[in-house]
Structures are given as structure tokens and as C-alpha cells.
């Protein structure tokens, strides 16, 4: 009498997440993490609030200004002045998107789901970039439009149909999104929230101050090529003397962001989670 033996079916291989799945997961993470809401809310309040405050202060002093100062006035740039402070929140968000996972250990789970680290970082960048671009453009319009109502009292307002104005307003959103992506790269390099936030704040605020103490023409030359000086040019309709043209400055900030993200990718590939 013989006994029949059956071969157990081979266990099914776990399905590896596709790039689209990972982007969708990162999008969900960015939108559902509580810190995203509060960080962006702080950025929105600071950007709009300071833009309105500076617009009101400028308008109240407009009658005492010289003809030369009036001629140099840029209503688009002034209405987006708050972006230069609200960008801190976007930078902090960019850091938290990656360092939060290192702090909780979730980075290991993320890399198991998507072991191809190029796609892992690209998915994070796409999700973060999309969220910050949408919010950034909306907050730029929300700053620009009421500020023009304030400027209208002195008949110095601008409209979106004027040359360069729409580009400047949309540029505010692009600038904020790039700051977030630059911070993402710094966070991926350092893997530490406090250290990464310190670095991005130093890059955006401390370096421009240090540059002002350089001798001769070095001060203006270095300042205009720093991330904040170069990227901020895209929000100007009447660029000041010595400042890069809008799209040239924007391209410089893009280059900084690409270099930092490339360095972050290299670091992620060379080390364990």
C-alpha cells in the first residue's frame, strides 16, 4: 500500500509596491499627519498677515516718500513680502516629512515597502512638492489680492494682467515649494529634526546677514546668489539693481535644490535606515 504525497504550493511572493502606490501613500501621509496642518497654517497666517501689515505701513508713509522711491515701488513684490517669513514654515514641513520617519523608526517600514531608494525619495519629493506648490500658490494670491486693495487708496495698485505680475504671484508659490524641497534634502542628509531646521534657517536668514559683511562688491555678488536672494527674485516685477532676473534667480534656486536632493539620495543609498 502506497501513500500519496502532495506538494504544498509555494508561498506567494509579496507584491512589491509600485512607484505610483508609493507616491499615493506619501501624498496621504503628508496630508494626514497633524504637523502638516499646523505647520502650513502657521505659514499661511504669517505670510498673509505680514504682507498686509507691510502693505498698510508702506501706504501710510507713501505721501512722505521721494519721487525716486515711488518710482521704484513694486506693488507685486510688496504684497508678497510675507513670503520671506512664511517660508520658514514650509522649510520646517520639508524637514519633518523625512526626519519624522527617522525619529519614529517608520523609515524602515517605508524602505521595506519601497527598497528602491531613488523612487522612495522621488515619491516623497513629488508628494511634498505638490502639496506645498498648491498651498503656496493659493497663499500668494491670498496675499496679493487684499494688498492691492490697500494700495488702491494711493492709486499704486497692480492687476494680474500687468506685465510680470501673474508670474510674480505664481512665482511666490514656486518659491515656497522649492524651499520645502530644499529642506527635504537637508533633512534626508542630517536625519535629525533640530539640526536640519537649524541648517535651513541658517541658509535662509543667517547667510544673507553674514554676506553683508563681505568686503567690496563681494557682499552684493554673494547675496544675490544665495538661495533666498536668488529664489526671491522670481517674485519681483521691478528687480532692484544688482539682483538676478526673475527666472535666472529661480533657476539658481532650482539648481541648489537639485544638488541637495542628489546629495541626500547618495547618502540614503550608502547607509542603512
Quote the DSSP letter at residue 1.
-
Query: Which set of grid coordinates corresponds to residue 217?
Result: 562688491
Predicted pLDDT of residue 1? 46
Q: Which three cell numbers mark 174?
A: 514656486
Which domain range does residue 202 map to?
19-60+67-270
Task: Find, among 159, 138, 135, 143, the residue nearest to 52 by Cα.
Answer: 143
Domain assignment present for 1 = no
151 within some domain: yes
Q: Is residue 246 part of a domain?
A: yes
Number of folded domains that form the chain:
1
The verdict on residue 4 lying in a domain is no
Alpha-helix runs per DSSP H in 5-82? 19-32, 34-61, 67-72, 75-79
Structure confidence by residue, pLDDT tens digits, 232-261:
999 999 887 778 999 999 999 999 999 999
Domain assignment of residue 12, yes or no: no
Q: Is pLDDT larger for residue 55 or for residue 68?
A: 55
For the whole model, what pTM was predicted? 0.91
Q: Per-residue DSSP letters for 214-267?
A: SSTTHHHHHHHHSHHHHHHGGG-SSPPTTPPPHHHHHHHHHHHHHHHHHHHHHH
Q: Is residue 10 part of a domain?
A: no
Residue 8 in domain: no
7 domain residue, yes or no: no
Amino acid at each position: 500500500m502506497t501513500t500519496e504525497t502532495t506538494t504544498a504550493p509555494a508561498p506567494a511572493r509579496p507584491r512589491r509596491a509600485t512607484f505610483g502606490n508609493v507616491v499615493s501613500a506619501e501624498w496621504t501621509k503628508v496630508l494626514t499627519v497633524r504637523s502638516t496642518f499646523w505647520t502650513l497654517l502657521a505659514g499661511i497666517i504669517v505670510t498673509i498677515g505680514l504682507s498686509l501689515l507691510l502693505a498698510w505701513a508702506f501706504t501710510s508713509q507713501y505721501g512722505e516718500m521721494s519721487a525716486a522711491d515711488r518710482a521704484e515701488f513694486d506693488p507685486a513684490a510688496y504684497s508678497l513680502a510675507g513670503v520671506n517669513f512664511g517660508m520658514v514654515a514650509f522649510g520646517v514641513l520639508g524637514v519633518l516629512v523625512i526626519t519624522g520617519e527617522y525619529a519614529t523608526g517608520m523609515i524602515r517600514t517605508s524602505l521595506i515597502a519601497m527598497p528602491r531608494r531613488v523612487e522612495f525619495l522621488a515619491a516623497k519629493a513629488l508628494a511634498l512638492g505638490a502639496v506645498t506648490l498648491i498651498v503656496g500658490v493659493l497663499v500668494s494670491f491670498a496675499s496679493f489680492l487684499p494688498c492691492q486693495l490697500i494700495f488702491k487708496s494711493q492709486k499704486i495698485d497692480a492687476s494680474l494682467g500687468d506685465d510680470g505680475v501673474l508670474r510674480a504671484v505664481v512665482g511666490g508659490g514656486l518659491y515656497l515649494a522649492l524651499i520645502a524641497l530644499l529642506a527635504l534634502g537637508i533633512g534626508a542628509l542630517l536625519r535629525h529634526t533640530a539640526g536640519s531646521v537649524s541648517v535651513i534657517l541658517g541658509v535662509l536668514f543667517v547667510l544673507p546677514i553674514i554676506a553683508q559683511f563681505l568686503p567690496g562688491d563681494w557682499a552684493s555678488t554673494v547675496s544675490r546668489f544665495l538661495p533666498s536672494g536668488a529664489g526671491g527674485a522670481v517674485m519681483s516685477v521691478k528687480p532692484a539693481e544688482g539682483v538676478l532676473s526673475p527666472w535666472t534667480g529661480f533657476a539658481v534656486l532650482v539648481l541648489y535644490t537639485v544638488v541637495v536632493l542628489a546629495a541626500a539620495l547618495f547618502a540614503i543609498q550608502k547607509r542603512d535606515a
